Copies of this chain bind each other. A is one copy, B any other.
Amino acid sequence: MSNPSLLILAGDGIGPEVMAEVRKIIDWFGAKRDLKFDVEEDLVGGSAYDAHGTPLTDETMAKAQAVDAVLLGAVGGPKYDVLDFSVKPERGLLRLRKEMDLYSNLRPAQCFDALADFSSLKKDVVAGLDIMIVRELTSGIYFGEPRGIITENNERVGINTQRYTESEIERVARSAFELAMRRGKKLCSMEKANVMESGILWREVVTEVGKDYPEVELSHMYADAGAMQLCRAPKQFDVIVTDNLFGDLLSDAAAMLTGSLGMLPSASLGAPMANGRPKALYEPVHGSAPDIAGQGKANPCACILSFAMALRYSFDQGAEATRLEQAVEKVLADGVRTADLLNEDGITPASTSQMGDAVIAAL
């Protein structure tokens, strides 16, 4: 039997640096745990644009469809701000999500004990926080038609369309209920059903799917109230399910609240492939951080933990995933810190590769 395959798309900014550390981890699992992967690398985002004039070539897209999992670094940077919308770095990422049909985006917002002081929130509000935001990722206003800038009555009009079908809502709701079953059995669905008809349909379908999960305590919240409650008392939540746009804002806010932004991974999952594995892409929640790129300052943990999610969700290696997660936690507990995890002067931060090496040592 051949090894499972990985496509690494390191992308822009700090993407390549943090991904280099993930490569070390992958090699470690191959050598020490006999978990071997066939790894290929390719370009996405601005770096793909620089090389090919497009943020994702058809060849790369085809590779992504063929592999068992994609690992992505980050895309974007000020250098590409001037580009036309259709070739901006983000379009590469959005094309991957859409064409791989990765409808369920899992974004854990977890507060690492060793980093609780790092949050802008009071320690007791965030210590021990562990919630999972399930964001719909292939539909809604990100992809709805019609869209564009048209001219009407002699002025320009910007248009985007929020569109959700019942089956789109159903499948992401189901994945959120499944997750809730394996966690604290609480699910909160967020929309603006008081203002948007798409929110009304969302609430109805989620409620309907909930009948198949009588053990899960389901609640509904308007997204604005959800934003408030995440800021006020995030620990009231277990799993949250929401649409693409609300999920973008709410998961970023939640990630920031933990104080562990440089630590947070994500998984984007689609339907099972012929081999039973879901289509999958794993990426850190943080962006490409062009201001510190190339300086060896970036924290590779979020990207490493994204690989841990790959072990769990794509390769059924939950125990190995936990091993890797615990290694990261041990490194933090030992006080190894990249610059983003330090707020005092006078301490020399660990470099990106020192952090990666420390994780390997802890493994």
Residues of B within 8 A of A201 (CB): 149, 156-158
In contact, A165 and B156 (Cβ under 8 angstroms): yes
- With an 8 A cutoff between CB atoms, is A233 at the interface? yes
Select the stretch in A253-261, A268-276, A321-329 that faces chain B: A253-261
Residues of B within 8 A of A261 (CB): 228
B interface footprint on A120-134 (CB within 8 Å = 1, 0 otherwise): 111001000000000
Number of interface residues of A (CB under 8 A): 60
CB distance from A53 to the nearest CB of B (A): 19
In contact, A196 and B149 (Cβ under 8 angstroms): no
Docked CA distance A125–B228 (Å): 17
- With an 8 A cutoff between CB atoms, is A162 at the interface? yes
Docked CA distance A301–B155 (Å): 43
Docked CA distance A125–B256 (Å): 14
Which residue of the partner chain B has the closest CB to A125?
B120
Residues of B within 8 A of A250 (CB): 227, 249
- With an 8 A cutoff between CB atoms, is A167 at the interface? yes
Select the stretch in A12-20, A140-148, A308-316 that faces chain B: A140-148
Given the interface pairs A162-B162, A197-B147, the reply to whether A255 lies near B232 with Cβ below 8 Å is no
Which residue of the partner chain B has the closest CB to A205?
B156
Residues of B within 8 A of A122 (CB): 120-122
Given the interface pairs A195-B90, A228-B253, A253-B228, the reply to whether A166 lies near B160 with Cβ below 8 Å is no
Interface residues of A in 95-149 (CB under 8 A from B): 120-122, 125, 141-142, 144, 147-149
Which residue of the partner chain B has the closest CB to A167?
B155
Q: Which of B157, B159, B195, B231 contacts A253 (CB 8 A)?
A: B231
Which residue of the partner chain B has the closest CB to A169?
B158
What is the count of identical protomers in the complex? 2
- With an 8 A cutoff between CB atoms, is A295 at the interface? no
In contact, B197 and A148 (Cβ under 8 angstroms): yes
Docked CA distance A121–B147 (Å): 39
Residues of B within 8 A of A125 (CB): 120
Residues of B within 8 A of A121 (CB): 120-122, 231
- With an 8 A cutoff between CB atoms, is A246 at the interface? yes
- With an 8 A cutoff between CB atoms, is A297 at the interface? no
CB distance from A196 to the nearest CB of B (A): 5
Offer 27 A-B interface pairs, CB within 8 angstroms, sorted by A.
Answer: A94-B195, A120-B231, A121-B122, A141-B141, A142-B195, A152-B165, A155-B166, A156-B201, A157-B165, A157-B166, A158-B197, A158-B198, A158-B199, A158-B202, A160-B161, A192-B245, A223-B249, A224-B248, A224-B249, A227-B227, A227-B252, A227-B256, A228-B255, A228-B261, A229-B256, A230-B253, A231-B231
Contacts from A to B (Cβ < 8 Å)? 76, 85, 88, 90, 94, 120-122, 125, 141-142, 144, 147-149, 152, 155-167, 192, 194-202, 223-225, 227-233, 245-246, 248-250, 252-253, 255-257, 261
Please give me the 4 A-B residue pairs with the lowest Cβ-Cβ distance, nearest first: A158-B198, A158-B201, A228-B256, A227-B253
